[in-house]
C-alpha cells in the first residue's frame, strides 16, 4: 500500500517541519493533474485536466493583462489563478451549466479549501486561503480579471472546436452569455470579443440560440 504523504511522514527525512508541510502540500496538489474537465483540447483528442487549464489561464493573464479595465497587479492575478481550482481535488470539477451540481458547489469547495490549504504552514495557509476567497468574491480588480480569464478560456475552446461542450442539454446562447458576464466586467475589449464569438457561434449553428430567438 502506498504511504500516505503527510508532513508527519515526511518530517522523518529532514526534521524541518515547515519544509515538510510545504512538500506535503506540493505533493497533494499534484492530484490536480488527474481532475478532468469537460473542455476539449483544440485538437479535440481529449478533454483537458485542471492543471492544464490552470497553466493556460496563467499564460493568458500574462498576455492579456493590458486589456484589463482596471490596473491590476499581475503577480496577484497569477497567484489566484494558480490556486483557484485546487479545491477541485476534493470537490471535483463542476460543469458550468450543471444546475444540480451547482447547488452544492460552494459547500463542497469550501470544505476542500479548509482541508487542502491547511496542509501548508500557518502563514502560507492563511495567504493562500485569502487569495482563494478573493478570487471567489470577485470584489477586487485582480479577482475580476482572474475570473475573466477563467471564463474566456473555455469560451475560446468551445468556439474553436465547433461547439465543444455547448452541445450539452440546456446550453443556449443566453446561458453562455450569462456565464461570460465577468469578462465584460473586467475588460471592454475582451467583453466585446466574447459577445462576438457567441453571436458567430449561433450564426454558425454550433450554439443553440436563446429561446426567444428561435
| Residue 210 banded pLDDT, cuts 50, 70, 90 | confident
Q: What pLDDT, on the 0 to 100 scale, is given for residue 146? A: 98
User: Taking a C-beta distance cutoff of 8 angstroms, is the pair 50, 73 a contact?
Assistant: no
What sign does the CA torsion over 43, 49, 50, 51 have? negative
Percent of the chain topping pLDDT 90: 86
User: Taking a C-beta distance cutoff of 8 angstroms, is the pair 32, 54 a contact?
Assistant: yes
Measured CA distances, 39 to 47, 115, 126 (Å): 5, 27, 31
Task: State the pTM of this model.
Answer: 0.92
57-82 core/surface letters (b: 16 or more CB in 10 A; e: else): bbebbeebbeebbeebeeebbbbbbb
Compute the half-sphere exposure of residue 165: CA atoms within 13 Å on the CB side of its CA.
20
Beta strands 47-49; 36-40: pairing state? antiparallel
Q: How far apart are CA 158 and CA 165, in angstroms?
A: 6
Q: How far apart are CA 23 and CA 133, in angstroms?
A: 23
Q: What is the pLDDT of residues 75-121, one digit of tens each?
A: 999 999 999 999 999 999 999 999 898 899 999 999 999 999 999 99
- Cβ count within 10 A of residue 126: 12
pLDDT of residue 24 exceeding 90: yes
Residue range 186-196: mean pLDDT, rounded:
98
Residue 188: DSSP 8-state: H
Amino acid at each position: 500500500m502506498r504511504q500516505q504523504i503527510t508532513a508527519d511522514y515526511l518530517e522523518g527525512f529532514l526534521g524541518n517541519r515547515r519544509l515538510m508541510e510545504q512538500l506535503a502540500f506540493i505533493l497533494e496538489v499534484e492530484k490536480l493533474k488527474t481532475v478532468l474537465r469537460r473542455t476539449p483540447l483544440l485538437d479535440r483528442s481529449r478533454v483537458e485536466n485542471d492543471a492544464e487549464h490552470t497553466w493556460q489561464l496563467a499564460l493568458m493573464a500574462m498576455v492579456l493583462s493590458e486589456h484589463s479595465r482596471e490596473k491590476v497587479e499581475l503577480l496577484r492575478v497569477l497567484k489566484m489563478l494558480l490556486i483557484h481550482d485546487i479545491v477541485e481535488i476534493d470537490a471535483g470539477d463542476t460543469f458550468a451549466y450543471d444546475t444540480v451540481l451547482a447547488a452544492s458547489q460552494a459547500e463542497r469547495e469550501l470544505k476542500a479549501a479548509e482541508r487542502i490549504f491547511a496542509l501548508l504552514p500557518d502563514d502560507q495557509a492563511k495567504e493562500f486561503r485569502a487569495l482563494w476567497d478573493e478570487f471567489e468574491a470577485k470584489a477586487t480588480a485582480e479577482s475580476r480579471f482572474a475570473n475573466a480569464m477563467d471564463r474566456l478560456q473555455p469560451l475560446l475552446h468551445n468556439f474553436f472546436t465547433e461547439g465543444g461542450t455547448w452541445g450539452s442539454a440546456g446550453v443556449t446562447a443566453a446561458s453562455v452569455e450569462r456565464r461570460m458576464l465577468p469578462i465584460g466586467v473586467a475588460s471592454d475589449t475582451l467583453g466585446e470579443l466574447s459577445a462576438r464569438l457567441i453571436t458567430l457561434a449561433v450564426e454558425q449553428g454550433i450554439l443553440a440560440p436563446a429561446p426567444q430567438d428561435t
